[in-house]
Amino acid sequence: MSRIGKKPVNIPAGVKVKLEDNLFTCTGPKGSVSKKLPEKSSVAINDSVITVSLADNDKNNEKFTGLTRTIIANCIEGVSDGFSLNMEIIGVGYKAEVKTNALNLNIGYSHPIIFNIPESISISVEKNTLLKITGNDKDLVGQVAAKIRSYRKPEPYKGKGIKYSDEIIKRKVGKASGK
């Protein structure tokens, strides 16, 4: 069985979990998250510990125990602590602002780009160029960040664009002038 799948998941105080027909629902101080779990593994919920094991003894299904355990751990961490991603907007005149459930991006196009923010996600803008995306669903936070980044990916010559704050852009040398 997977090394990750063998580890038990502790349920912190204030978090309630429920499993019905492979639909795992977790409720806590940051909200609630529901995820469908793979059918190849079985989940046992005891007092404050969740353990994952194989549903049958088929060796081909061992890989699903680690996946199931990770999905459960992410749900519990999301409703207790939450997830956040930081992004930077780099470029002259590039800026962002939040207006009533929409992110308004001015990133060098002839028109502003308006991104509708999903319900369980909150985006805050600092200094017009720093974005902080927070939410209780790790998948949705990453998906929103990737969508915002896709509007203007960082380019390697000047480094202009939208990037994750911990992302390193490999810079290229521009065209050299001839003699």
Using DSSP's 3-state secondary structure scheme, residue 150 falls into helix
How confident is the model at residue 21, as a pLDDT?
85
How confident is the model at residue 56, as a pLDDT?
77
How confident is the model at residue 6, as a pLDDT?
78
- E strands in the chain: 9-10, 16-20, 23-28, 31-36, 41-46, 49-54, 83-90, 95-99, 102-106, 113-116, 121-126, 130-135, 161-164
| CATH 3.90.930.12 holds for 9-81 | yes
Strand partners, 32: 27
Domain ranges of the chain: 9-81, 83-164
Name the pTM for this structure: 0.83
How confident is the model at residue 178, as a pLDDT?
62
| pLDDT tens digits in sequence order for the chain, 179 residues long | 567 777 888 888 888 988 888 888 999 888 888 999 888 888 888 888 888 878 777 777 778 888 888 898 999 989 988 899 999 999 888 999 998 889 999 988 899 999 999 988 999 998 988 999 999 989 999 999 999 999 989 988 888 899 999 888 888 888 877 66
Where does 83-164 sit in CATH, by number? 3.90.930.12
CA distance 158 to 173: 9
9-81 and 83-164 share one CATH topology? yes
